[in-house]
Chain A
Amino acid sequence: MVTNVGSLGRTGVADFVLQRVSAVVLTLFGLCVGGWFALNPEPTHAAFVAWFTAPAMSIFATLALAALAVHAWIGMWTVGTDYFRPHYFGRFATLARGVWLGGTALLTFVYVAWGLAIVWRLT
Chain B
Amino acid sequence: MRVSLYRYNPDTDAKPRMEDRELELPQGKDLMVLDVLELLKAQDPSLSYRRSCREGVCGSDGMNINGKNGLACTTPVSEAAPRGKLVLKPLQGLPVIRDLVVDMTQFYRQYERVKPYLINDEEPPAQERLQSPAEREQLDGLYECILCACCTTSCPSFWWNPDKFVGPAGLLHAYRFLADSRDTADAERLAELEDPFSVFRCRGIMNCASVCPRDLNPSAAIAKIKTRLVSDGI
Query: B-contacting residues of A (Cβ < 8 Å)?
Result: 2, 4, 7, 9, 11-17, 78, 81-83, 85
Residues B200 and A15 in contact, CB atoms below 8 Å apart: yes
Residues B234 and A12 in contact, CB atoms below 8 Å apart: no
Residues B196 and A7 in contact, CB atoms below 8 Å apart: yes
Residues A12 and B161 in contact, CB atoms below 8 Å apart: no
Residue from B156, B157, B160, B196 within 8 A of A12 (CB atoms): B196
Interface of B, secondary structure class, is: loop
How big is chain B's contact interface, by range? 10 to 19
Which one of B74-82, B141-149, B181-189, B225-233 is at the interface?
B225-233
Interface of A, secondary structure class, is: helix
B224 close to chain A: CB less than 8 A: no
- Known A2-B164, A17-B233; further 14 A-B contacts with Cβ < 8 A: A2-B197, A4-B197, A7-B196, A11-B194, A11-B195, A12-B194, A12-B198, A12-B229, A13-B194, A13-B200, A13-B233, A15-B200, A82-B160, A83-B160
Query: A-contacting residues of B (Cβ < 8 Å)?
Result: 156-157, 160-161, 164, 193-201, 226, 229-230, 233-234
Least Cβ–Cβ distance between A12 and chain B, in angstroms: 3
Residues A13 and B229 in contact, CB atoms below 8 Å apart: yes
Show 10 A/B contacts (Cβ-Cβ < 8 Å), sorted by A. A4-B197, A11-B194, A11-B195, A13-B229, A13-B233, A14-B233, A16-B230, A17-B233, A81-B161, A85-B160
Least Cβ–Cβ distance between A18 and chain B, in angstroms: 11
Distance between Cα atoms of A16 and B204 in the complex (Å): 13
Closest 5 CB pairs of A and B: A12-B200, A13-B233, A12-B196, A82-B160, A7-B196
Least Cβ–Cβ distance between B199 and chain A, in angstroms: 6
Least Cβ–Cβ distance between B166 and chain A, in angstroms: 11
What residues of chain A lie closer than 8 Å to B157, measured between beta carbons? 82
Residue from A2, A16, A83, A85 within 8 A of B200 (CB atoms): A16
With both beta carbons as reference points, the residue of chain A lying nearest to B190 in the complex is identified as A13
Asked, given contacts A17-B230, A82-B157, whether A12 binds B199 with beta carbons under 8 Å apart, the answer is yes
